[in-house]
A = this chain, B = another copy of it.
């Protein structure tokens, strides 16, 4: 039978990106992990990790084993909390991963409400940018993940994890106050905004993919002049009149409404979908937190 500790070594190496970094996280030295990994590879008769300058990357066999290994570690963690729960010991920690803008808008109110309802549970919050984080949930490093999908971006395979949509967050066009499109009678089309300087994430960032796919649908090309993935920066730039952007409605709700105007796009109604992801039989505080997040999500749009 494969050794669970060696599996854990593989999982940590995969998550950390290198043997040295994984050793650091596990409070071991690099040779220890190197030896364990070598034994695992020898036992299986195949290479699991490609070593190279700048870290370690998994081979196909390594990725397959990673998937199983994450589930094994998750089951082991859940087993422990489940048994302790039977013995009357309530879980005292819940770790939550969220993307940056959820961490600023959706999560704080939920955390506050949850902290009041269950003051004995310590909350650990991690910044996880989609599409990452599924493996961390599977392996139990995270109990709950808040992730999103922008239009044009595929949703990752959830494996045996449970995924639930908690919010559809419309993407609104944000313009400087006084911009012609802000005051026009009809909602603007993308085609009306081709000459603008756009503020958006760099290529590969979800909102950029969404903007590009919306533009492609309309058959136009947009000029992204300022690249930032931070919606607060986007809004500041819009207020400064340097360009226009696409911003989720929940972000705008939390922002003082001076210096900018928001309008829906005519035709397409792009929106980002927000999901929570957790294991199928999560530890006790997770369902409560999910319910809190659902409520928080409902309030985020009203």
Interface residues of A (CB under 8 A from B): 1-5, 7-8, 44-46, 48, 60-61, 64-65, 68-69, 71-73, 75-80, 82-84, 86-87, 89, 160, 280
Residue contacts A-B, CB under 8 angstroms, 17 given: A1-B8, A2-B79, A3-B4, A4-B5, A4-B72, A4-B76, A44-B80, A45-B87, A46-B83, A46-B86, A64-B83, A65-B79, A68-B75, A71-B75, A72-B75, A75-B75, A160-B160
Docked pose: A45 CA to B80 CA in angstroms: 11
Instruction: Count copies of this chain in the complex.
Output: 2
Across the interface, do A80 and B2 meet the contact criterion of CB distance under 8 Å? yes
- Which residues of chain B are near A1, meaning CB under 8 Å? 4, 8, 73, 76-77, 80
Q: Please provide the 8 A-B residue pairs with the shortest distance between their CB atoms, ordered closest to farther.
A: A68-B79, A4-B4, A46-B87, A61-B86, A72-B75, A65-B83, A2-B76, A61-B83
Docked pose: A45 CA to B71 CA in angstroms: 25
**Minimum Cβ distance to chain B for residue A66 (Å):** 9
Closest to A62 in B: B83
- Which residues of chain B are near A69, meaning CB under 8 Å? 79
- Which residues of chain B are near A68, meaning CB under 8 Å? 75-76, 78-79, 82
Across the interface, do A84 and B2 meet the contact criterion of CB distance under 8 Å? no
